[in-house]
Amino acid sequence: MSIRRADTLGGKAAIVGIGATEFSKDSGRSELKLAVEAVRAALDDAGLTPADVDGLVTFTMDTSPEITVAQAAGIGELSFFSRIHYGGGAACATVQQAALAVASGIADVVVCYRAFNERSGRRFGSGVQRREPTAEGAALGWNLPYGLLTPASWVAMAAQRYLHAYGRGPEDFGQVAVLDRRHAARNPAAYFHGKPITLADHAASRWIVEPLRLLDCCQETDGGQALVVTSVERARDLPRPPAVVVAAAQGAGRSQEQMTSFYRDGLTGLPETAVVARQLWRSSGLTPADIDVGILYDHFTPFVLMQLEEFGFCGPGEAGDFVAADALPLNTHGGQLGEAYLHGMNGIAESVRQIRGTSVNQVAGAARSLVTAGTGVPTSGLVLGADG
């Protein structure tokens, strides 16, 4: 992959197994236990065993190291293990790393996993309390004295500017929340199963940081999710239809910071997402018109709108109307607002289900799915497709 030319990774690897724990607010077990449960479930789904695995990929934020998960899950020798930084921005990059390892012959079967007690344990929404000193933390020091202490407060800066620049209102954000909850209401695995909301419910929810209300903010969840990646050739001999990695990309923009990139030329877009979008379209040869379903990272509703615009599905300031018109099936699992907050890994699993034809909110004939990872930070993305 290059920021300036198409890469050749597409079509060489596929996701062949997905597995998750239940999504809850109090798992009652360790994060390692959650990780192992998800890994084993994904391998069962793929028709593989722990003995088949020779690679593992996770997030730098995960508390369960690769060798510990391997030991606890009954996995033997490893030829590849890797971690991706920047929180939710890492989600799709774990699959990219796995695909690179498979395509280059470094590993044959790689499992990507993420597990945490994010509701009953450490809550990311609490912000930067008790953080160890780092160079990244020093950058936050320019904003913390002014009260920008939490992810919601950081995103609110960009959200407010977006509304002002395009003459829009918070109801645009509400369109995303309503859409996600509509899909979650039909998803038995979702925390908000059976609980749709209206735009009036969104407008009545309490302020978190203006212009963000409670229903603009994703959940906090306990759980684990795992994905199994192998070669397309091997995938064809396994029981489930493969979701082929058509393209994969990472991206960081100029003047990039973690959630506080306030010194860029503008705040109405997501330059890191633009980098990923250019790479995905260039390498896949696809355009927005070729995408059948979008699974967009929805930690906060405004950034879903900005992602749609950066990927070229609509023009600047037009995404609220685009979502309201149901112009593209989005977040059919309910997203992180409606199903669960698993740092985007559950979104990748939903993309696989769409390609397989097994989603509870199945899009008829879905053959190409766009998946994105966390935004406001260095991020990543995938285009998954049906084999052949």
**Single-letter amino acid, residue 103:** A
> In angstroms, rounded to a whole number, what is the distance separating the alpha carbons of residues 286 and 104?
24
Place of tokens 């996993």: 113
| Both tokens assigned to 299 | 């930690």
Does the annotation count 263 as an active-site position?
no
Q: Which residues of 213-228 are buried (b: 16+ CB within 10 A; e: fewer)?
A: bebbbbbbbbbbbbbb
Q: Is the dihedral of CA 314, 320, 322, 327 positive or negative?
A: positive
Place of tokens 């790393």: 97
DSSP of 212-244, one letter per residue? EEGGGB----EEEEEEEEEEHHHHTTSSSPPEE
The closest alpha carbon to 257, from 271, 275, 278, belongs to 271
Exposed / middle / buried, residue 297 (Cβ in 10 Å: 0-12, 13-18, 19+): buried
| Per-residue CA distances from 38 to 118, 128, 237, 367, 381 (Å) | 16, 29, 22, 26, 22
Tell me which of 113, 166, 191, 341 is the catalytic residue: 341
How many CB atoms within 10 Å of residue 381?
Answer: 30
Does the annotation count 297 as an active-site position?
yes
> Are the CB atoms for 314 and 322 separated by under 8 Å?
yes
DSSP of 328-351, one letter per residue? S-B-TT-HHHHT--STTHHHHHHH
> In angstroms, rounded to a whole number, what is the distance separating the alpha carbons of residues 96 and 35?
20
> In angstroms, rounded to a whole number, what is the distance separating the alpha carbons of residues 346 and 341?
8
Which residues are part of the catalytic machinery? 297, 341
